[in-house]
Structure 1
Amino acid sequence: MEWGRAMRELSTAIDHLATEDPSEIPRLQLVEQLIELHWQMARLQAQIARRTTVRGPGL
């Protein structure tokens, strides 16, 4: 997937989450969402770490 498109999709997903009111989500569904959000956050942090450790000429 092209970088710009991927970042737009990620941004859109985060914007969607921001529009939700967590207090209106049933407790079990909220727990499931929190687990999934933490999993996805860990995956994103892993990709940030991969890019942070890249070394090359001029870097």
Structure 2
Amino acid sequence: MEWGCGVRELAAAIDDLSAEDPSDIPRHLLAEQLIELHWQMARLQAQIARRTYVRAPASDS
């Protein structure tokens, strides 16, 4: 996968969610969507943490 492709796809997915009107979503589906969004947010936070703690390679000197 090309570097940055995942971030672009994430941005596009967020744009798609932003285009939705939550008041048009039936309540039972909205509840399911909220659970899924929280799950995906936790996964995103895990990826942010992985990238936050990347260290530069040790030098040979």
TM-score between the two structures when normalised by the length of structure 2: 0.83
Query: What is the one-letter code of the residue matched to 1:21?
Result: D
Percentage identity across paired residues of the two chains: 74
RMSD of aligned residue pairs (Cα, Å): 1.5
Structure 1 segments unaligned to the other structure (5+ residues)? none
* SS of corresponding position for 2:55: coil
Q: How many residues align?
A: 58
Contiguous gaps of at least 5 residues in structure 2: none
Structure in which a larger fraction of residues adopt helix? 1
Output the CA distance in 1 between the equivalents of 2:52 and 2:4.
Answer: 19
- Give 1:37's aligned residue: 37
- Structure 1 residues 2-57: Cα deviation after superposition (integer angstroms, max 9, x where no partner): 22221221111000000001011000000000011000000000010011112224
Q: Which has the larger radius of gyration?
A: 2
